[in-house]
Structure 1
Amino acid sequence: MKIKIISSHKILYQENIISVIAPGFHGYFQILKNHAPFISILKNGLLKLKSDKKDVNKEIKIKGGLLQVKKNIVTVILQ
């Protein structure tokens, strides 16, 4: 599964991942490979990414945005 994190000006992060945990409007949720198509509003919190590289995890502090899942591609558009 791929993730692309975008700000208004550029792509901030793009990588293959195993999972992402995101701060949704009603609480945190997790996206894994082959997830159904999905769109969510994001609130302040941490995006927690688990890379497909061994033992590589990343946390990104965000102030809100949108998340879309479609065909194993997760797109995050930050405020």
Structure 2
Amino acid sequence: MAEEKLQRLEVVTPQERVYSQDIRFVVLPGAEGELGVLPEHAPLVSALKTGLVRVQNEGNTLKIAVSGGFAEVRNSKVTVLANAAEREDQINIERAKAAKERAEQRLAAKDPDIDLIRAEAALKRALNRLRATGQA
């Protein structure tokens, strides 16, 4: 039986290494759309948007919520440099729900002093974290 090819996935933030494993397949939230990466993929660099990194390995799927950053694919290694990243099993659901509610309240208030771009980004991040846990 032929040996199945794997690739290394590293997800890091400025604070920590969030994930480091050999995997079969990963889907990244590229700035221009989702990117599926198999071992021996052509080299590339892509900006990432807020979204889910979906890791498929040994019949399981792991979701990692990322908030922007960059991905590099080279020599069967995928490196994700994210502004923020959390594995689905590490997300505090109550905190994410509270952040969602705060952002929705800020946006609904229509206060001219509110930074709308910042409030919308906070809402996207909270919804993304909840999507990773299956709560949204």
> TM-score band (shorter)?
over 0.9
**Greater relative contact order (Cα < 8 A, sep 6+):** 1
1:61 aligns with 2:59: no
Instruction: Provide the identity percentage.
Output: 29
Match of 1:43 among 44, 49, 58: 49
The structure 1 segments of at least 4 consecutive aligned residues displaced by more than 2 Å after TM superposition are: none
Deviation at 1:55, TM superposition (A): 1.6
Match of 1:28 among 31, 34, 39: 34
Return the alpha-carbon distance in structure 2 between the equivalents of residues 4 and 61 of structure 1: 14
Matched residue type, 2:76: N
Computed over aligned residues only, the root mean square deviation of the Cα atoms, in angstroms, reads 0.8
Higher helix fraction (1 or 2): 2
Higher strand fraction (1 or 2): 1
Which structure has the bigger radius of gyration? 2
TM-score (norm 2): 0.55
Return the alpha-carbon distance in structure 2 between the equivalents of residues 55 and 18 of structure 1: 10
Matched residue type, 1:66: F
TM-score (norm 1): 0.92
Matched residue type, 1:2: R
Unaligned residue ranges in structure 1 (runs of 5+): none
Aligned residues between the structures: 77
